[in-house]
């Protein structure tokens, strides 16, 4: 459980929820610092969502897992549309805000701990706002995709948003990608932490991938891309489906 | 001379000048992080200046020294009004922007190096946008005020803006003030550095004072407050004049 003083992300959401000034500073492990839109975006009502999210959300169905729910904007929208949604986030303060805003099923849970859910629990997994990034690394993504395979129904979908890291001409980002390659990481595998006022979050890996990289990550996990939404800009969303005939390689070898 | 990679303040101004995205992250030595309005404010045209600055600038006269000139907004305004202005800033990139924007006399010079100016050079010293803060500490302020006394004419004025640090109920700021007291610093003596993208500025002391503290700082320096402008909010400006009969204490003792 993240202690409140390390929950920079949650503190920022909590401040904004209380009508106080909120901002989000993102520090990368090469010393690069940036401010992101932060809190206001985590509260965006449906009508102000990016166009690609409005298109992609139409694929949502049945019981839904909202991964990295933040302030609950996606969960609240889906709940209102009549879906049963479970919102998870590793930030206790974010989940507190989700609950106060009316998300019925919201729980503090790091993505790495989704093994607590029973087999076939969800029909849809949503990872909006760059939250494909929560897969962290190639290795972690493979593990978590297999786990997602288990906790979802046979016709389940993952709807995940990311940013193509190569669609930039910023020298600072390009040299960071080089650094990542050199240390054996995916070029878009950002090691970052959130800072807000006196709150400093823990370092974590947030993975940005191009479309071809995403396909490689999905390989041998039982998932494949059904379609991509968005292609002009760096941001895009993948609708990911299960390969029906898929058996885990381990099992196949035992047939 | 600040190297370009440590000139975070100048880089931010340079980016904004080139029409690029600019922001200013301020990191305090207790780990508190904030974003300030930054670059856009350093370029503000006169009509958008805060009311107290519009009132205070009327006191400007003769040859003017603009301390911490930033992107030159004050120098440019005064120059247009017909005054002879010398803009100084320790940031090489900020001074480059000043020059490109038309400031005729702009030079890279840390405030600590004003001893290079001849006796009686200036009629007015301007320190807008919290730049009273550049006095840094009680001790440094005393030294620099005496130096300013020497390089200005007998009827000279200092027009300096600061923020009363006690006009806050923010627990993070109040506990920082306590920390400062404990380590023998003035409560509003902020130790900060500027960060922008991959640029990390050097740590420096930026001094915020209440009106009574300012009076104490001016004591025995040959300067006194003529009047304060602004008293409802935390920000205020002091019009500071020379004590005509003033002799430095050392000389007095030798009479």
pLDDT at B245: 65
A-interface mutation test, from B33, B37, B39, B175, most A Cβ less than 10 A away: B33
Q: Do B196 and A35 touch (CB under 8 A)?
A: no
- Give B198's contacts in chain A (Cβ within 8 Å): 30-33, 172
pLDDT in tens, B8-34: 999 999 999 999 999 999 999 999 999
Nearest to A31 among B32, B172, B200 (CB): B200
Q: Which helix (H) or strand (E) holds B137?
A: none
**Chain A residues near residue B200 by CB distance under 8 angstroms:** 31, 33
Q: What is the pLDDT of residues A4-33, one digit of tens each?
A: 999 999 999 999 999 999 999 999 999 999
Q: Are B115 and B147 in contact (CB under 8 A)?
A: yes
pLDDT digits (tens, 9 = 90+) for B185-238: 999 999 999 999 999 999 999 999 999 999 999 999 999 999 999 978 999 999
At residue A181, the 3 state secondary structure works out as helix
Q: Is B246 exposed, middle or buried (0-12, 13-18, 19+ CB in 10 A)?
A: middle
Sign of the CA dihedral B192, B8, B72, B114? Answer: positive
pLDDT digits (tens, 9 = 90+) for A192-212: 999 999 999 999 999 999 999
Cross-chain residue pair B33–A196, CB shorter than 8 Å: yes
Is ipTM strictly over 0.95?
no
- Chain B residue numbers with beta carbons less than 8 Å from the beta carbon of A172 are 197-198
- Residue in A with minimal Cα distance to B175: A198
Best of A18, A197, A199, A201 to mutate (most B CBs within 10 Å, chain B)? A197
For range B60-80, the mean pLDDT: 98
* β pairing state of A33-36 and B199-200: unpaired
- Per the CB < 8 Å rule, is B30 touching A198? yes
- Chain pair A-B, CB pairs under 8 angstroms: 36
**C-alpha distances out from residue A192 to A140, A203, A207, A244, B230, Å:** 16, 5, 10, 36, 42
Task: Find how far residue A226's CA is from the centre of its chain.
Answer: 18
Which chain A residues are Cβ-neighbours of B32 within 8 angstroms? 197-198
Annotate A77-122 with DSSP letters as a single string: HHHHTT-EEEEEES-HHHHHHHHHTT-SEEEE--GGGGGGSPTT-E
pLDDT value for B244 = 79
Cα(A161)–Cα(A239) distance, integer angstroms: 9
Return the pLDDT at B252: 46
Tokens 């205070």 locate to: B56
Contact between B79 and B104 (Cβ < 8 Å): yes
**pLDDT, tens digit, for every residue of A64-117?**
999 999 999 999 999 999 999 999 999 999 999 999 999 999 999 999 999 999
- Contact between A197 and B35 using a beta-carbon 8 Å cutoff: no
Average pLDDT of span A188-192? 98
Of A208, A207, A235, A203, give the one whose Cα is nearest residue A28: A203
CA distance B229 to B57: 11
Task: Tell which of B9, B12, B35 to mutate to test the A interface (max A CBs under 10 Å).
Answer: B35
Q: What is the mean pLDDT of chain A?
A: 95
pLDDT in tens, B159-198: 999 999 999 999 999 999 999 999 999 999 999 999 999 9
pLDDT tens sequence across A166-177: 999 999 999 999
Find out whether B134 and B114 touch, Cβ atoms under 8 Å. no
Answer whether residue B41 shows pLDDT above 60.
yes
Cα end-to-end distance, chain A, whole Å: 42
Q: Is the pLDDT of residue A160 over 50?
A: yes
Are A33 and B197 an interchain contact pair (Cβ–Cβ within 8 Å)? yes
Neighbours of A102 (CB within 10 A): 12
Is B33–A197 a contact, with Cβ atoms under 8 angstroms apart? Answer: yes
Considering only CB atoms, B32 lies closest to which of A30, A32, A198, namely A198
| pLDDT at residue number A87 | 98
Neighbours of A5 (CB within 10 A): 10
pLDDT of residue A231: 78
Q: How far is A194 from chain B (nearest CA, A)?
A: 11
Of A32, A34, A195, the CB nearest to B33: A195
Phi, psi of B110 (to 5 degrees): -65, 145
């Amino acid at each position: 459980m993240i202690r409140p003083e390390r929950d920079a992300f949650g503190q920022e959401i909590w401040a904004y929820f209380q009508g106080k000034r909120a901002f989000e500073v993102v520090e990368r492990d090469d010393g690069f610092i940036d401010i992101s839109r932060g809190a206001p975006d985590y509260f965006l009502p449906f009508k102000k969502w990016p166009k690609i999210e409005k298109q992609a959300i139409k694929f949502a169905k049945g019981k839904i897992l909202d991964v990295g729910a933040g302030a609950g904007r996606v969960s609240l929208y889906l709940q209102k549309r009549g879906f049963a949604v479970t919102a998870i986030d590793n930030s206790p303060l974010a989940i507190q805000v989700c609950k106060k805003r009316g998300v019925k099923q919201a729980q503090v849970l790091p993505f790495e701990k989704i093994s607590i859910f029973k087999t076939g629990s969800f029909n849809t997994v949503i990872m909006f706002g760059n939250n494909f990034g929560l897969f962290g690394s190639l290795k972690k993504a493979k593990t978590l995709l297999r786990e997602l395979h288990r906790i979802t129904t046979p016709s389940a979908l993952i709807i995940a948003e990311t940013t193509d890291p190569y669609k930039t001409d910023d020298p600072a980002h390009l040299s960071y990608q080089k650094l990542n390659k050199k240390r054996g990481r995916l070029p878009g595998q950002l090691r970052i932490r959130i800072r807000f006022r006196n709150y400093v979050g823990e370092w974590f890996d947030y993975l940005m991938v191009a479309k071809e990289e995403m396909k490689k990550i999905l390989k041998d996990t039982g998932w494949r891309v059904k379609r991509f939404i968005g292609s002009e800009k760096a941001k895009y969303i993948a609708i990911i489906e299960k390969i029906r005939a898929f058996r885990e390689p381990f099992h196949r070898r035992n047939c």
